[in-house]
């Protein structure tokens, strides 16, 4: 239970810390690695290849396919009036089942002071679904804004490498304050302000029903992320991401880190949207030979794609067999 609590606290904004204790098995591996002579030139070559995008994109391609297909199902269902995927990714009915984003549902309850039965059913359904599949998996595998921001992030990284722009990171803890502030504003003004500015809902509705003026706001966010702060909305603002992270705390689906073969070259951290979750890949930062990456992980698989030694893997607790 302690490791889950620590993971939640880090997600809320605290910086990762060195483990208070390291298992005997992990200490033995670190001692063995210390005595090994590393091919530094080869490690640097691998690292540069990752920066240049020369690595496996297996999980990225799978994820993009799922994300695009999911959003297209809503669009096509509306266009040809199949009524199989109704609504948007914020509130919908899928194959007859009500679905509702939990944080958006909270906004509605706080604004109107009433919990509608379909909203309650839809919220519970979504919570159960993502509690199994890994909460923040919604961000990487379903959210349409995530895909746009991912493309924007790639451009931002290229501009930073050319020294045309400078990245401006913020403290991750402000996302928690936005979570509280937006909920408080909904209650005080009886209006879900988040529903108006949420790029996830704006992009989802635009894909289904056609463009709106809200896309101007989305465009502004992307420009901010390209020219000023890398993945600013997802990292520092989005309360949906924080909510799904909480939902997936005990999820059996995890990206896991295996210490034994890790070369600690750090390529995984350069491609990670939330690099603080990969603190364990640094030397002497893994408390055991196997570590769950944590509840703030989006399960995007980018680190799995670039890891040269298969030290980072997708696993399902109780199902995946140890290699």
Do residue 89 and residue 182 come from a single domain?
A: yes
187 located within any domain? yes
- Regarding whether 230 and 112 lie in a shared domain, the answer is yes
| Statement to judge: residues 39 and 69 lie in one domain | no
What's the length of the chain? 323
At residue 37, the pLDDT reads 65
Residues 30, 32, 34, 38: is their CA dihedral positive or negative? negative
User: pLDDT (tens digit, 9 = 90+) per residue, 189-237?
Assistant: 999 999 999 999 999 999 999 999 999 999 999 999 999 999 999 999 9
**Residue 71 — pLDDT band, cuts 50, 70, 90?**
very high
Domain that holds residue 20: 2-54+252-316
Q: Is residue 230 part of a domain?
A: yes
321 falls within a domain: no
Say whether both 145 and 212 belong to one domain.
yes
Region 235-249: what's the mean pLDDT? Answer: 96
Same domain membership, residue 98 and residue 142: yes
CA angle 39, 43, 47 (to 5 degrees): 170
- 79 with 180, same domain: the answer is yes
What's the total number of domains in the chain?
2
Identify whether 179 is part of a domain. yes
Buried b (16+ CB within 10 A) or exposed e, 272-310: bbbbbbbbbbeeebbbbbbbbbbbbbbbbbbbbbbbbee
Task: Kindly state the percentage of the chain with pLDDT values over 70.
Answer: 93
| Interval 72-93 mean pLDDT | 91
For residue 56, name the pLDDT band (cuts at 50, 70, 90). Answer: confident
**CA 166 – CA 160 distance, rounded (Å):** 6
Same domain, 109 and 186: yes
Q: Which of 109, 84, 203, 99 is nearest to 151 (CA)?
A: 203
Domain boundary among 246, 264, 287: 246
In this structure, the answer to whether residues 210 and 301 fall within a common structural domain is no
What integer pLDDT is reported at residue 181 of this predicted model?
97
What local confidence, expressed as pLDDT, does residue 39 receive? Answer: 60
Residue 121 lies in a domain: yes
Residues 155, 232, single domain; the answer is yes
Q: What pLDDT is attached to residue 308?
A: 86
323: in domain: no
Last residue of a domain, one of 227, 246, 265: 246
Asked if residue 137 lies in contact with residue 212, where contact means CB atoms within 8 angstroms, the answer is: no
Q: Is 322 a member of any domain?
A: no
* Inter-axis angle of helices 239-247 and 2-11, nearest 10: 170
Q: Return the closest-CA partner of residue 162 out of 86, 99, 256, 227.
A: 227
**258 and 228 within one domain:** no
Q: Assign 318 a pLDDT band (cuts: 50, 70, 90).
A: confident
In a domain, 87, yes or no: yes
Of 221, 246, 271, the residue at which a domain comes to its end is 246
CA-closest candidate to residue 10, choices 312, 285, 268, 289: 285
Q: State how far the alpha carbon of 300 is from the alpha carbons of 17, 135, 174, in Å.
A: 24, 12, 23
CA 158 to chain centre: 21
The pLDDT score that the predictor gives to residue 41 is 63
50 plus 102 within the same structural domain? no
What pLDDT digit, counting tens, does each position of 127-181 carry?
A: 999 999 999 999 999 999 999 999 999 999 999 999 999 999 999 999 999 999 9
Asked if residue 170 and residue 106 are part of one domain, the reply reads: yes
Condensed to tens digits (0 to 9), the pLDDT of residues 263-308 reads 887 889 989 999 999 999 988 888 999 999 989 999 999 999 999 8
The predicted model scores a pTM of 0.92
């Amino acid at each position: 239970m302690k490791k889950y609590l620590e993971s939640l606290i880090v997600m809320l904004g605290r910086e990762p810390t060195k483990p208070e204790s390291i298992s005997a098995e992990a200490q033995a591996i670190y001692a063995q690695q210390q005595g090994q002579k590393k091919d530094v030139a080869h490690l640097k070559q691998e690292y540069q290849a990752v920066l240049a995008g020369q690595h496996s994109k297996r999980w990225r391609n799978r994820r993009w396919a799922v994300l695009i297909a999911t959003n297209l199902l809503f669009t096509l269902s509306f266009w040809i009036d199949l009524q199989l995927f109704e609504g948007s990714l914020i509130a919908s009915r899928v194959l007859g089942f009500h679905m509702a984003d939990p944080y958006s549902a909270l906004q509605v309850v706080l604004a109107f002071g009433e919990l509608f039965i379909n909203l309650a059913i839809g919220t519970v359904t979504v919570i159960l679904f993502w509690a199994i599949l890994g909460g923040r998996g919604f961000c990487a595998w379903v959210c349409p804004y995530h895909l746009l921001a991912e493309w924007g992030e790639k451009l931002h990284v290229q501009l930073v490498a050319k020294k045309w722009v400078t990245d401006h990171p913020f403290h991750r803890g402000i996302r928690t304050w936005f979570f509280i502030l937006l909920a408080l504003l909904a209650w005080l003004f009886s209006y879900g302000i988040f529903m108006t500015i949420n790029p996830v809902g704006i992009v989802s509705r635009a894909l289904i029903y056609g463009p709106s003026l809200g896309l101007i706001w989305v465009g502004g966010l992307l420009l901010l992320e390209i020219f000023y702060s890398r993945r600013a909305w997802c990292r520092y603002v989005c309360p949906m991401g924080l909510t799904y992270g909480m939902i997936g705390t005990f999820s059996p689906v995890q990206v896991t880190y295996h210490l034994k073969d890790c070369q600690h070259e750090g390529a995984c951290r350069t491609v990670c949207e939330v690099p603080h979750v990969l603190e364990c890949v640094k030397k002497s930062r893994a408390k055991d030979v196997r570590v769950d990456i944590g509840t703030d992980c989006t399960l995007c698989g980018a680190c799995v794609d670039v890891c040269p030694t298969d030290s980072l893997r997708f696993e399902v607790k109780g199902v995946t067999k140890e290699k």
